[in-house]
């Protein structure tokens, strides 16, 4: 679970996204950072019970920095208005598929997974895997426990058919995608409940077959 003060801080930074305010409330941020680290560590512990990949991963390896990189952005606000963590082999920097936790009060929190906007060589491998093993992918996304949590595989799509494939390919809807992600919302009131870590881990478990399928392609 997260402390209500953590959610208040994230809500407040959206209204006061500037360095003077942040410096004045740095002690609050350090408490927020510790609170989020504890949640991430708890989730990692649960994930490690069923997947040895997470046994050596530390919370600090997963957590995204709150400081924005504004060098190439028109938006010069210095801080993110959410807490984020990436769960995968080695933490947040893994180039394959993994899991993602996004905490943002106001109904914008979610647990997600998959792979977002992979580089062209990786995308090519994923499309090849989908083409070769489409029945396996279809089996994953059609399972009741998957459909109960996720609306389907999300991601921006090409307007044209990708090179090397034809219009009659049964997997065309997936082959046209440039990202392969799923997500399930987390309600604001769930963020401060004791079962939050178990809820997140269970959501990740439901998307594990898809994550494994994608990683088989890029291995």
Q: What is the pLDDT of residue 22?
A: 98
- CA distances to 48, 162, 166, 176 from 157, in Å: 34, 10, 16, 5
What pLDDT is stored for residue 56 in this prediction? 93
Closest CA to 131 of 157, 158, 164: 164
CATH architecture designation of domain 4-218: 2-Layer Sandwich (3.30)
Q: Give the pLDDT score at 219.
A: 78
Q: Tens place of pLDDT for every residue, the chain, 219 residues?
A: 999 999 999 999 999 999 999 999 999 999 999 999 999 999 999 999 999 999 999 999 999 999 999 898 999 999 999 999 999 998 999 989 999 999 999 999 999 999 999 999 999 999 999 999 999 999 999 999 999 999 999 999 999 999 999 999 999 999 999 999 999 999 999 999 999 999 999 999 999 999 999 999 997
CB-neighbour burial class of residue 73 (10 A; exposed 0-12, middle 13-18, buried 19+): exposed
191-195 long-range Cβ contacts below 8 angstroms, 24+ apart: 191/1, 191/2, 191/7, 191/103, 191/105, 191/109, 192/1, 192/2, 192/3, 192/4, 192/7, 193/1, 194/1, 195/1
Which pTM value belongs to this model?
0.96
């Amino acid at each position: 679970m997260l402390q209500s003060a953590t959610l208040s801080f994230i809500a407040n930074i959206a209204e006061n996204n500037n360095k003077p305010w942040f410096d004045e409330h740095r002690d609050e941020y350090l408490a927020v950072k510790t609170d989020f680290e504890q949640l991430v560590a708890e989730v990692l512990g649960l994930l490690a019970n069923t997947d040895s990949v997470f046994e050596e991963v530390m919370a600090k390896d997963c957590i995204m920095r709150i400081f924005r990189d504004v060098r190439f952005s028109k938006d010069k606000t210095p801080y993110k208005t959410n807490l984020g963590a990436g769960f995968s082999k080695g933490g947040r920097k893994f180039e394959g598929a993994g899991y993602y936790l996004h905490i943002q009060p106001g109904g914008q929190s979610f647990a997600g997974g998959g792979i977002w906007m992979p580089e062209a060589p990786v995308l090519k491998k994923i499309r090849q895997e989908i083409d070769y093993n489409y029945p396996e992918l279809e089996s994953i996304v059609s399972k009741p426990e998957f459909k109960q949590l996720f609306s389907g595989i999300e991601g921006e799509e090409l307007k044209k058919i990708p090179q090397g494939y034809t219009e009659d390919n049964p997997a065309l809807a997936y082959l046209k995608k440039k990202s392969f992600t799923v997500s399930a919302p987390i309600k604001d009131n769930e963020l401060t409940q004791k079962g939050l870590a178990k809820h997140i881990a269970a959501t990740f478990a439901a998307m594990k077959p898809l994550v494994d399928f994608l990683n088989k392609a890029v291995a």
